[in-house]
Amino acid sequence: MDSSHQPSVDEKRSTRTGGSPEGRDEIVAAVENGVAVNASGYRDQLERQYSLLGLAGIAITVDNAWIALGSSISVSILNGGPPGLIFGLIVAVFYYSFIGAGLAELASAVPTAGGVYHWATIAGGPKYGRILGFFTGWINFYGWMFDLAALIQIMANICISMYSVYHQTTYTYEPWQVYITYLLVLWLCTAAVIFANRVIPHTQNIGMFFVIVGGIITIIVISAMPRRHASNHFVWGSFTENNLTGWPGGLAFLLGVLNGAFTVGTPDAVTHMAEELPHPKKDLPKAIGLQIGLGFLYAFCFAIALCYAITDIDALQGGFNTYPLANIYAQATAHADGAPNHGATFGLLSIIFCSSLLCCVGTVLTNSRIYWALARDNAVPLSPLFSKVNEKLSCPVPATLFVATIATALGAIPLGSPTAFLNLTGSFIILTTTSYAIPFAANVLTRRQYLPSATGSFRLGKFGMPINILAVLFIVLFNTLFCFPFVYPTTTETMNYNSVILVGVVALTAVWWVVHARRNYPGPKVMGLYTHDGVPSDGGKVQVSEGVEVPVGRGEGGVEGLEEKEKNESDGGRLP
C-alpha cells in the first residue's frame, strides 16, 4: 500500500460514521437501490460524530440530575420536607430503573432517532403498529416540549437569582422578568444547535464536567460551610410536620415523588441521537445505565447535604414558581454573624448556571431530532419543510426553529399561573412515560415477537416480559397520582391541570390522525424493515455480515445490491 496515499473525503466520512465492518454492522440495516440505509430506513443525513464519551456527556448533561433535584425542590418541599425529598428520589429511581432497562433493550435492537415512536410501531405489528407509533411519537414530542420549557424556566430563575444576590435591597421579583430571560436563553440555545452543531459534542463534555466536578465541589461546600446544620430528625424524620399539602401522609409522599421523577426522568434523551453514533447498539444501553446510575448517586448525596444545610424551611415555601435553591445556598454559606456571603452564593449558582445552560442546549437538540424524525415519515403538518436537513450544518434547521417557537409559547404559561412550573414538570413526566408505556405494553401483548434480535444488541432475555409489565404498572400508578391536585382542598389557582394536558394532547393527536394521517401517513420505514405481514423481524431476511440483515430477493435491495455497493466502494464509487 502506498504510504503517501491521502484519504479522500468519503473515506474520512466512512471512518467517522463507523466505516469499519464492525461499525457498519451497527448502522446498516439494509440496502435499498444500492444505498445503505440505517435502522430508520433512511440513508444517513447527520454525521455520526458522537463517541461513547460524547454520548455520555449528553446523557449526564441533559439529565443534570442533582441540579434538577435542587432546582425543582419547590415541587416537593411541601410534601414532607427533607424526608419526602430524599425518600421520594429513591422511589423514583426504583421505578425508573425498570423503564430504563426496557428502553435500553429497544434502543439497542432498533437504534433510530425516532426512539419510542419507531419502537411502538414495530411492537404493535403490521395491524396496529402504524396508529400506535403515530400516537406515541406525538405524545413523546409534547412531553419533551414541556421538559424544555421547564428547564429553561429553571435557567431563567437561576439568572434572576444570580442578579439578585448583589441587589437584594433594591430588586423586586416580577414574573415578566423571568419570561424575558427565558426567551434570551431559549433562542441562544437554538442558535447554538443550528450554527455550532459540530462542536456540541465538546460542549456536552464540558457540561458533564460541570455536573460531575461541579457536583462534588457543591456537595463539599454546602456540607462544610454552614455554621450550624439541621438536626437528624429534621432531615430524616420530620415528614409529618412538613406535610403542608392537606393530603394524608402516604398520599402526600407519593405525590412528592414527582420531584424525584423529574430528577432522573430523561432516559430516552440519548436514544434520539442514535443516528449520530458510530456504535449505537452498544453505546445507547451504556449511556442510559450511566445516566440513571450516576444521576441517582449525585442527586442522593446532594439531597442529603442540601437538607442538612437548611436552617429556615419557612423561607423556602414561597410558591411553586420560585427558586428556593438560591435561598438554601444563602443559608448554607452565611458568615458566622449571619451576614450573607454573596461571593460563595454567587459561585455556587454559577456552577448551576454553566451546567444548566449546556443542559438546555442538549434538550433543544433532543427535541429537534424528535420532531425531525416525525416529519421524515409525513406525520406532522408541512412535513416536506420540517424533514429538511442542512447537511453543511448537520442540522434539521426548520424542525429546530419550530421547536423553539413552540417553547416560546409554553414559556408564557407561568405569567398567568402560580402552579405553572408544577404543570410543566408533571406534564413532562406523564407524557414521556406514557410514550414509554405504549411500546412496553405492545411488546407484552404481542409476546415480544416483533422485537428484533440482532447480534451484539442488549437483551433482557427471560426478564424482558416481567420488566416490561412492571414498568407499565408503575407508569400507570404514578401518572394517576401526578394528576391529583397539589394541595387539598384545592382552588382554581392551585388546581393540577396535568390530566387536562394529557387529554388535550391525545385529542389533538386524534384530530390530526383523522384529518391527515389516516389516509396520508404511511407509517415509518421501520415497518418494512422489521415487520412483514405478521412475520417477526427476522422473517424474510438473510444475514450478510454479523448484525446486518437485508431482505431476500429484492434486486438492488438484496444481497446482490450489497455486493454491488461494496464493489463500487472499493473502486472509489460514491453512494448517492
Question: Cα–Cα distance between 374 and 62 in angstroms, integer?
Answer: 21
Weakest-pLDDT range from 149-153, 191-195, 277-281, 420-424: 420-424
Q: What are phi and psi of 300, to 5 degrees?
A: -65, -50
Cell output for 430: 406523564
pLDDT for 179 = 94
Taking CA atoms, 60 is separated from 32, 286, 407, 555, in Å, by 36, 12, 22, 44
Question: Cα–Cα distance between 43 and 182 in angstroms, integer?
Answer: 36
The answer to whether the CB of 255 falls within 8 A of the CB of 486 is yes
The helix/strand count (H/E) of the chain reads as 22, 4
Share of the chain above pLDDT 90, in %: 51
* DSSP code at position 387: T
How do beta strands 541-545 and 548-551 pair? Answer: antiparallel
Q: What angle do CA 546, 548, 553 make, to 5 degrees?
A: 125
pLDDT-based confidence at residue 558 (cuts at 50, 70, 90): very low
C-alpha dihedral (18, 19, 24, 29), degrees to nearest 10: 100
pTM for the whole structure? 0.84
pLDDT for 562 = 37
Report the interhelical angle of 342-376 vs 397-410 (nearest 10°): 130
Weakest-pLDDT range from 256-260, 500-504, 533-537, 557-561: 557-561
pLDDT for 567 = 41
- 10 Cβ contact list (under 8 Å, min separation 6): 574
Residue 453 has pLDDT above 80, yes or no: no
pLDDT-based confidence at residue 32 (cuts at 50, 70, 90): low
Per DSSP, the residues of 367-429 read: HHHHHHHHHHTT-STTHHHHT--BTTTTB-HHHHHHHHHHHHHHTTGGGT-TTHHHHHHHHHH
Mean pLDDT calculated for residue range 391-413: 94
Report the interhelical angle of 125-165 vs 116-123 (nearest 10°): 160
| Amino acid letter, 249 | G
| Amino acid letter, 453 | S
pLDDT for 317 = 61
- 35 Cβ contact list (under 8 Å, min separation 6): 43, 565, 575, 576
Per DSSP, the residues of 181-212 read: HHHHHHHHHHHHHHHSGGGHHHHHHHHHHHHH
- 292 Cβ contact list (under 8 Å, min separation 6): 93, 96, 97, 100, 264, 267
Residues listed for the chain: 576
Nearest to 298 by CA among 243, 218, 241, 401: 218
The answer to whether the CB of 129 falls within 8 A of the CB of 531 is yes
Residue 143 has pLDDT above 80, yes or no: yes
pLDDT for 542 = 33
Q: How many CB atoms lie within 10 A of CB 573?
A: 13
Residue 572 has pLDDT above 70, yes or no: no
Kindly give the residue spans of alpha helices, DSSP state H, lying in 110-199: 116-123, 125-165, 175-195
| Amino acid letter, 441 | A
pLDDT for 249 = 92
pLDDT-based confidence at residue 203 (cuts at 50, 70, 90): confident
- 6 Cβ contact list (under 8 Å, min separation 6): none
pLDDT-based confidence at residue 31 (cuts at 50, 70, 90): low
Weakest-pLDDT range from 116-125, 213-222, 489-498: 489-498
Weakest-pLDDT range from 69-73, 138-142, 181-185, 375-379: 69-73
Share of the chain above pLDDT 70, in %: 82
Question: Cα–Cα distance between 457 and 523 in angstroms, integer?
Answer: 25
Nearest to 62 by CA among 451, 356, 334: 356
Considering only residues 415 and 441, tell me which one the structure prediction assigns the higher pLDDT. Answer: 441
Cell output for 245: 399539602
The answer to whether the CB of 425 falls within 8 A of the CB of 123 is no
Question: Cα–Cα distance between 286 and 283 in angstroms, integer?
Answer: 5
Residue 564 has pLDDT above 60, yes or no: no
Range list of β-strands (E), 455-568: 541-545, 548-551
Weakest-pLDDT range from 52-66, 117-131, 237-251, 352-366: 52-66
The answer to whether the CB of 485 falls within 8 A of the CB of 494 is yes
Mean pLDDT calculated for residue range 345-353: 94
Cα Rg, the chain, nearest whole Å: 24
- Give 502-546 pLDDT, tens digit per residue: 999 999 999 999 999 999 998 888 877 776 554 444 433 433 333
Q: How many CB atoms lie within 10 A of CB 175?
A: 14
Question: Cα–Cα distance between 345 and 79 in angstroms, integer?
Answer: 26
Question: Cα–Cα distance between 116 and 133 in angstroms, integer?
Answer: 8
> Residue with C-alpha cell 445507547?
284
Question: Cα–Cα distance between 91 and 155 in angstroms, integer?
Answer: 26
Kindly give the residue spans of alpha helices, DSSP state H, lying in 387-419: 397-410
Residue 573 has pLDDT above 50, yes or no: no
pLDDT for 440 = 97
